[in-house]
Amino acid sequence: MISYLVFLLPAGLVEEIVVSEIRRVIRAPEITARTVRAVQEARPDLKEAAIITAMQGFDQLWAALLPAEQMRIIHLLVDRVTVGEGGVAVDLRHEGLGAVVQDLLSHQELEACA
């Protein structure tokens, strides 16, 4: 017979852990460099400084997003969340970060026009 341990955590706590991990990754220098390269491949007109500024604006954008928009970003960035005895493990899709940064840049461009 196979037995499984079941871990129950409030959804809000899991969401907080996931968003904290995304924030941590966005601030990592090696991820920033990789993301700058990926975004510039898709949009060669963008300067490195603008991309970095957009990445630094993640917290402000996150707070302004509707839940459906937040969910779309989570789906772009999160591959899997595993809850176990050792805690919560968040596996991210780093390739989705380029799309998120382009969204951040679009949001900043719209604010600048308003």
Give the residues across from 81 on adjacent strands: 90
pLDDT in the model for residue 84: 80
What is the percent of the chain where pLDDT is above 90?
38
* pLDDT tens profile 58-114: 898 889 889 999 999 999 899 999 888 888 899 998 888 888 888 777 766 656 665
Please list the alpha-helical segments (H only) found in 6-66: 11-27, 29-42, 48-56, 58-64
pLDDT band (50, 70, 90) for residue 4: low
- Please state the rounded mean pLDDT for residues 34-45: 90
Three-state DSSP state, 10: coil
pLDDT above 90 (res 20) = yes
pLDDT in the model for residue 109: 66
State how far the alpha carbon of 4 is from the alpha carbons of 7, 9, 10, 53, in Å: 10, 16, 19, 45
